[in-house]
Amino acid sequence: MDIKQLEYFVAASEKGSFNKAAECLYTSQPNVSKVISGLEKELGRGLFERNSKGIQLTPFGETIKEYAQNILKNALLISSTISENPGPKLAVSTFPGNLLARFLIEFYKETDGKYNIEHLQGTAEEITENVKRGISEIGVVYIARDQLTPFQHILTHKDLEFCPLDTKELCIHVGKNNPLYERSSISFSELSDLKFISGVRDYFSMEHHLEKVSLGIVSRESLNNVICTNSEYVLINALANTDICSMGVTFLTDRYKEYGIKTLTISDCEPFLTVGYVSRYNHKISSPCGEFIEKLRRNL
């Protein structure tokens, strides 16, 4: 049994005719009939009932059709993972964000384009799944310190490990239209007076665990979130053109400067978010990923 037989069988079952199947398969009707007859012989049962009006699936054929469609779908998924550029590559997943995207482009330029880059974005769950399935070699994440233990517990079940690189503090991003723009810092108690643009909630996000950072001074429920988005383009435009601010982490923040966006530190904020990467357990990191991780470590 091979993929060609299944393709011919599914085409014939969907068209209800060997002749019509042959047309969409760019072959002849006798060839389609021959291939399907061979499949029936191999299975030991008939797949179609042939009559003067054409062909009709037998009950057995209906069962095999469902199996065949699943096989063809999975074969297509396997084909889609084949890289068009099989040379050395950096395969990485990250949280959505313009800053990490810019960081990737800088890496490409610094390495003179000698590595192909395959980049995916997603939540912590999606990133770890990409690494588990081998779609990405590493996943860059930043995890609230209080959530490292449950996060690592999840990774253990996926045969993955988390390699921390540094721990960062929370910060506030503001644009020139914000009255706080000339300041360099802000206190926790002032946060409840501000308007925020926030990201879509992720259990491992910094907003989700804000109350554990601020020691009860302010909770995330008390923040005035006027916009919720998963688009950093919307975030940057909101910061640059309104008095709305956003909560961030002191990580690659200098890349906001070109948009006129300033970073304010939060007074008395202890290191909170651990930045690092996820990889398969005991996996030997490739040269492209090794270079990328070292660049990330230097920037931290």
Per-residue pLDDT averaged across 85-92, rounded?
A: 81
The distance of Cα 27 from the centroid of its chain, to the nearest Å, equals 40
**What pLDDT was estimated at residue 216?**
39
> Percentage of the chain surpassing pLDDT 90?
37
The answer on pLDDT for 74 being more than 80 is yes
**Domain parsing of the chain, residue ranges:** 3-80, 89-166+274-299, 170-270
Round to whole Å and give the CA distance between 286 and 138: 10
When mean pLDDT is compared across 6-20, 43-57, 187-201, the lowest value belongs to: 187-201
Phi, psi (degrees; rounded to nearest 5) at 134: 80, 10
- Number of residues written out for the chain: 300
Is 170-270 the same fold as 89-166+274-299?
A: yes
Q: Span 236-247, mean pLDDT? A: 91
Sheet holding 170-174, edge to edge: 185-186, 262-266, 170-174, 246-249
CATH among 3.40.50.920, 3.40.50.300, 1.10.10.10, 3.40.190.10 for 3-80: 1.10.10.10
On whether the CB atoms of residues 175 and 256 are closer than 8 A, the answer is no
The Cα–Cα gap between 258 and 191 comes to 25
Q: How far is CA 256 from CA 14, 172, 224, 273, in A?
A: 54, 12, 23, 19
Q: Is the dihedral of CA 57, 63, 68, 74 positive or negative?
A: positive
Contacts of 2 by beta carbon, 8 Å cutoff, 6+ apart: none
| pLDDT recorded at residue 207 | 44
User: What average pLDDT does the segment 184-201 reach?
Assistant: 82
- Is the pLDDT score of 65 beyond 60? yes
For the 170-270 domain, the top CATH level (class) is: alpha beta
Q: Is a pLDDT exceeding 50 seen at residue 198?
A: yes
């760019």: which residue's tokens?
26
Each residue's pLDDT tens digit, 129-168: 999 988 899 999 888 777 788 888 889 989 999 999 988 8
* DSSP letter (8 states) at residue 279: E
How many angstroms separate the Cα of 151 from the Cα of each of 21, 28, 178, 271? 51, 57, 36, 18
Q: pLDDT averaged over the chain?
A: 83
Q: Is 69 exposed, middle or buried (0-12, 13-18, 19+ CB in 10 A)?
A: middle
- Contact, 89 vs 288, CB < 8 A? yes
Say if residues 275 and 164 touch (Cβ distance below 8 Å): yes
**Which CATH architecture does the domain made up of 89-166+274-299 adopt?**
3-Layer(aba) Sandwich (3.40)
How far is 287 from 89, CA to CA, in rounded Å? Answer: 9
pLDDT on residue 211 = 38
